[in-house]
């Protein structure tokens, strides 16, 4: 089942809740439900899908897209070349022939990493998206890709300059749901994960940080969050954080977890 929630005007999260079961990017002993998030922005004539989800969620993701995209032209933005982002690219291409795929991968043939049941149309390519330039060519001037502060593979963050939502791919992903009726969108600090919990999650995914000289990363972090003051954090995994005060707290706690 895909949960659909509007998190800002014409901006939706399509989320599937999966029990924590020892996935490699989660610390040992993690319990609860991990949201797997895709984001869909709509305008009168265009739709933008941020990531496509893993293979296990294909049917419900396609059903949601069929219902919501309609006759709009669809663009798929891939935030990184990992299976929880790209596994359904081929199926989406099959379903929406008038489609464009964009990402930031320099050396990987993105469409060569996915399987399509039908022969793709002539000329279908994955376009490389430069950092810092808006998606105006794709009908969404409000979205601007940005280089992430911390990554392993080629990864993109993106800011929605209208709603203030910062899409962070596999970062800021430690806040899981305890029960299915917990809100997917967090708006308060009740039971917010501690910096120690955040650190365990960060090091489970980015284990190289424990050995890194983090001086330049800290400078990049400070520079990024001086220039960008998000009103929401929208990760590919985990709960969404909504509200300026909460987001400021979360950013501060992650900074403590990573650098202190």
How does pLDDT run across 131-166, given as a tens digit for each residue?
889 999 999 999 999 999 999 888 999 999 999 999
pLDDT score for 83: 85
Residue 73 and residue 86: Cα distance in Å, rounded? Answer: 19
**Residue recorded with tokens 């929880």:** 84
pLDDT score for 114: 62
- The partner residues of 13 in beta bridges, in order of sequence, read 5, 39
- The partner residues of 215 in beta bridges, in order of sequence, read none
Per-residue pLDDT, averaged over 166-185, amounts to 96
pLDDT score for 132: 83
Looking at per-residue confidence, does 237 or 125 come out higher?
A: 237
With 90 as the cut, is the pLDDT of residue 199 above it? Answer: yes
With 60 as the cut, is the pLDDT of residue 100 above it? Answer: yes
Torsion angles phi and psi, residue 49, rounded to 5 = -105, 125
Report the half-sphere exposure of 256 (CA within 13 A, side-chain side).
Answer: 12
- The radius of gyration of the chain's CA atoms, rounded to the nearest angstrom, is 18
Question: What global pTM score does this model have?
Answer: 0.94
Looking at per-residue confidence, does 83 or 29 come out higher?
A: 29
Percent of the chain with pLDDT over 70: 92
Give the count of beta carbons closer than 10 Å to the beta carbon of residue 191: 10
> Given phi > 0 = left and psi -120 to 50 = alpha, else beta, which region is 253?
alpha
Residue 33 and residue 177: Cα distance in Å, rounded? Answer: 5
Q: Are 56 and 19 in contact (CB under 8 A)?
A: no
pLDDT score for 82: 87
Residue 122 and residue 17: Cα distance in Å, rounded? Answer: 37
Per-residue pLDDT, averaged over 210-229, amounts to 96
Residue 27 and residue 202: Cα distance in Å, rounded? Answer: 9
**Residue recorded with tokens 């800011």:** 159
Taking CA atoms, 168 is separated from 56, 61, 124, 156, 241, in Å, by: 22, 20, 27, 8, 11
The 8-class DSSP code of residue 29 comes to: T
**Residue recorded with tokens 């190289």:** 208
pLDDT score for 93: 86
Confidence of residue 107 (pLDDT cuts 50, 70, 90): low
Q: What is the CATH number of domain 3-259?
A: 3.60.15.10
With 60 as the cut, is the pLDDT of residue 109 above it? Answer: no
Tell me what the pLDDT averaged over the chain comes to: 91
Percent of the chain with pLDDT over 90: 77
Confidence of residue 124 (pLDDT cuts 50, 70, 90): low
Least confident of 101-105, 194-198, 212-216, 252-256: 101-105
With 70 as the cut, is the pLDDT of residue 122 above it? Answer: no
pLDDT score for 117: 64
3-state DSSP assignment of residue 44: coil
């Amino acid at each position: 089942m895909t949960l659909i929630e509007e998190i800002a005007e014409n901006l939706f999260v399509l989320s599937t809740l999966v029990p924590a079961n020892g996935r490699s990017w989660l610390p040992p002993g993690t319990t609860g439900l991990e949201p797997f998030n895709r984001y869909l922005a709509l305008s009168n004539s265009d739709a933008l899908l941020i990531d496509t989800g893993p293979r296990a969620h294909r049917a419900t993701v396609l059903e949601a897209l069929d219902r919501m995209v309609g006759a709009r032209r669809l663009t798929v933005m891939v935030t990184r070349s990992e299976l929880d982002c790209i596994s359904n690219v081929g199926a989406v291409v099959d379903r929406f022939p008038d489609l464009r795929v964009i990402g930031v991968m320099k050396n990987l043939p993105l469409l060569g990493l996915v399987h399509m049941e039908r022969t793709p149309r002539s000329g279908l390519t994955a376009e490389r998206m430069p950092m810092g330039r808006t998606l105006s060519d794709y009908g969404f001037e409000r979205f601007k890709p940005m280089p992430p502060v911390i990554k392993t593979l080629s990864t993109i963050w993106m800011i929605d300059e209208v709603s203030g939502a910062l899409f962070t791919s596999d970062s800021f992903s430690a806040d899981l749901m305890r029960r299915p009726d917990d809100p997917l969108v967090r708006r308060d600090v009740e039971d917010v994960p501690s910096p120690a919990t955040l650190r365990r999650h960060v090091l489970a995914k980015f284990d190289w940080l424990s050995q890194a000289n983090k001086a330049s990363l800290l400078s990049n972090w400070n520079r990024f969050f001086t220039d960008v003051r998000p009103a929401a954090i929208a990760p590919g995994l985990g709960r969404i954080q909504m509200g300026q005060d909460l987001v400021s707290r979360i950013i501060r706690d992650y900074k403590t977890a990573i650098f202190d």
